[in-house]
């Protein structure tokens, strides 16, 4: 079978870009070419360009991988997204990515693009752990390898914050406008976090640069949502059948997608609003809702699945007791949320249950279980502290926490940047407070949880039940 390219004759049933990808000019630089970006932002961008043409092609940057860039080049930067649910499936070819750059190979080209005035927006999906955020201070973690490298050698960056700072420094020196930085990772107030890290790193080299960024920069926050599992041989084979061509970059995803963005862009933006994105003054209520209801329950399901030998989210959801638990956890986390404009939280929860149950989406519990130390503070612990302060018992959150700890204890090779610390904590002799070593990990649990003896006892009791095989 031939490989997907601009000359592949595609079946009528395949949705194609409504514009000519070959002549699309770049206006966005996106860092982090993973599955999520390709099935979310790039899809919104295709829809926006169909409604309102403009120079908003995406230059996709991978900070670590060469393969994905090679695959993009081999396919004229085209790839497919297959949407699946019980109601059926459909395929679309996405045309928004106009170029791929690997920082491993082309650092200079990437730096040149960051100072190219055609690039108006830099968007980011690099996952929580790549920012180098110190959770205890909210500032830079100077021991994070990329942060340490970029502070020591700012003109040859390796990390995401280092690239942004060097790009902005070059713009400042050239007396240009800054680019807008739009973070699309699952962090609360993600724009504010990135702004703070960028200004801190800029200040370490030049206080005038930090001042300029704080006065002129734009870092809108955004909430992103679409369930996009890692591709597999089976998903690629299904895409090839629908396309009539091999596509090494194809992805499968659910029909649902959501994007809520603060409308603060220095030099314009694509008509993402016409593609269904919601522009609001304050994203925080939406972020909290999504992190605590969707991602919090997702993590709970993932650890449950890993401990019970259930490979996919849908398998966990097929056990009535676990599905009820996921719902109860969402209902309990919901009590910590303020009203979210335009959203009925009962319906939102019903929809999440249905999305998790989607029988056609093979989302590995192992994939979601990774990086718990980076995910759980915002998905679980912050909300738990608020729930306890309101007099709630936070029972399901105690169980979710115990599930993570049980998983960490059983998984010496846990996929987590704090693996060594977790391993040491797991090896501590248990005593009557088996969690003491985990609660002592810096920056992980809010002080209000550490100090709450009653809640600690509940987590300990849940852990004992899990370890005794009663849960």
Interface residue list for ligand CS2 (CB under 6 A): 186, 225-227, 295, 298, 367-368, 375
Length of the chain measured in residues: 471
Distance in Å, CB of 125 to ligand CS2, minimum = 10
Distance in Å, CB of 229 to ligand CS2, minimum = 8
For ligand CS2, give the closer residue by CB, 75 or 186: 186
What are 85's strand-pairing partners?
88
For ligand CS2, give the closer residue by CB, 205 or 419: 419
Phi first, then psi: give them for residue 72, nearest 5 degrees.
Answer: -60, -45
Based on DSSP, count helices (H) and strands (E) in the chain, helices before strands.
22, 11
Q: Which two tokens stand for residue 17?
A: 């870009």
What is the biggest distance separating any 2 CA atoms in the chain, rounded to whole angstroms?
67
Distance in Å, CB of 328 to ligand CS2, minimum = 18
Distance in Å, CB of 397 to ligand CS2, minimum = 16
Beta strands 88-94 and 79-85 are: antiparallel
For ligand CS2, give the closer residue by CB, 360 or 367: 367
For ligand CS2, give the closer residue by CB, 200 or 287: 287
Name the packing angle between helices 160-173 and 190-205 (round to 10°): 60
Asked whether 167 and 217 are in contact (CB, 8 A), the reply is no
Distance in Å, CB of 394 to ligand CS2, minimum = 20
Cα separation of 134 and 123, whole Å? 22
Distance in Å, CB of 36 to ligand CS2, minimum = 7
For ligand CS2, give the closer residue by CB, 274 or 367: 367
For ligand CS2, give the closer residue by CB, 158 or 380: 380
Distance in Å, CB of 100 to ligand CS2, minimum = 22
Distance in Å, CB of 73 to ligand CS2, minimum = 27
Beta strands 258-262 and 278-280 are: parallel
Asked whether 81 and 16 are in contact (CB, 8 A), the reply is no
Residue with tokens 């209000």: 448
Query: CA nearest 26: which of 98, 75, 94, 124?
Result: 98
Distance in Å, CB of 293 to ligand CS2, minimum = 11
For ligand CS2, give the closer residue by CB, 225 or 247: 225
Asked whether 107 and 156 are in contact (CB, 8 A), the reply is yes
Query: CA nearest 258: which of 229, 227, 218, 282?
Result: 227
For ligand CS2, give the closer residue by CB, 30 or 375: 375
Query: CA nearest 56: which of 69, 46, 66, 67?
Result: 46
Cα separation of 121 and 119, whole Å? 6
Q: Which two tokens stand for residue 266?
A: 């220095």
Distance in Å, CB of 294 to ligand CS2, minimum = 6
Query: CA nearest 375: which of 344, 336, 408, 348?
Result: 408
Cα separation of 288 and 380, whole Å? 11
For ligand CS2, give the closer residue by CB, 19 or 348: 348
For ligand CS2, give the closer residue by CB, 120 or 290: 290
Distance between the two ends of the chain, CA-based, in angstroms? 49
Question: Does an H or E element contain 80, and which?
Answer: strand 79-85
Distance in Å, CB of 355 to ligand CS2, minimum = 9
20: exposed, middle or buried (C-beta count within 10 Å: 0-12, 13-18, 19+)? Answer: exposed
For ligand CS2, give the closer residue by CB, 90 or 367: 367
Rounded to an integer, what is the distance from CA 154 to the centroid of its chain?
26
């Amino acid at each position: 079978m031939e490989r997907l390219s601009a000359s592949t004759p595609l079946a009528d049933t395949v949705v194609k870009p409504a514009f000519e990808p070959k002549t699309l000019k770049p206006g966005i630089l996106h860092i982090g070419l993973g599955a999520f970006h390709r099935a979310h932002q790039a899809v919104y961008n295709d829809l926006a360009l169909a409604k309102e043409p403009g120079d908003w092609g995406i230059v996709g940057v991978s900070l670590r991988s060469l393969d994905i860039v090679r695959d993009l080049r081999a396919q004229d930067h085209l790839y497919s997204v297959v949407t699946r649910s019980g109601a059926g499936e459909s395929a679309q070819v996405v045309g928004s990515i106009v170029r791929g750059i690997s920082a491993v190979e082309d650092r200079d080209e990437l730096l040149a693009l960051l100072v190219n005035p055609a690039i108006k927006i830099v968007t980011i999906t690099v996952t929580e752990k790549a920012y180098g955020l110190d959770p205890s201070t909210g500032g830079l973690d100077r021991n994070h390898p990329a942060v340490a490298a970029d502070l020591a050698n700012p003109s040859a960056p390796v990390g995401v914050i280092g690239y942004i700072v060097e790009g902005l420094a070059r713009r400042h020196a050239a007396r240009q406008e800054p680019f807008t930085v739009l973070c699309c990772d699952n962090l609360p107030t993600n724009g504010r976090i990135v702004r703070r890290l960028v200004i801190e790193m800029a200040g370490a080299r030049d206080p005038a640069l930090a001042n300029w960024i704080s006065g002129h920069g734009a870092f809108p926050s955004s909430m992103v949502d679409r369930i996009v599992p890692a591709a597999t041989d089976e998903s690629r084979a299904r895409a090839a059948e629908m396309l009539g061509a091999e596509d090494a970059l194809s992805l499968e995803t659910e029909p649902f997608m959501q994007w809520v963005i603060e409308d603060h862009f220095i030099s314009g933006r694509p008509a993402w609003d016409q593609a269904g994105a919601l522009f609001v003054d304050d994203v925080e209520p939406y972020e909290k809702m999504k992190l605590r209801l969707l991602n919090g329950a997702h993590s709970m399901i993932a650890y449950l699945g890993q401990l019970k030998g259930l490979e996919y989210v849908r398998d966990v959801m097929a056990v009535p007791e676990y599905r009820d638990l996921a719902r109860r956890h969402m209902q309990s986390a919901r009590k910590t949320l303020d009203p979210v404009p335009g959203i009925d939280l009962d319906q939102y929860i019903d929809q999440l249950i249905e999305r998790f149950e989607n029988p056609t989406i093979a989302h590995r519990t192992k994939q979601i279980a990774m990086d718990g130390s980076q995910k759980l503070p915002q998905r679980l612990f912050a909300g738990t502290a608020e729930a306890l302060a309101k007099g709630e018992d936070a029972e399901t959150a105690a169980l979710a926490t115990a599930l993570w700890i049980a998983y960490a204890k059983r998984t010496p090779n846990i996929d987590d940047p704090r693996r060594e610390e977790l391993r040491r904590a797991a090896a501590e002799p248990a005593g009557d407070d088996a969690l003491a070593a985990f609660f002592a990990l810096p920056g992980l649990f809010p002080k209000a949880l550490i100090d709450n003896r009653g809640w600690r006892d509940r987590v300990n009791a849940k852990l004992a039940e899990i370890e005794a095989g009663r849960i």
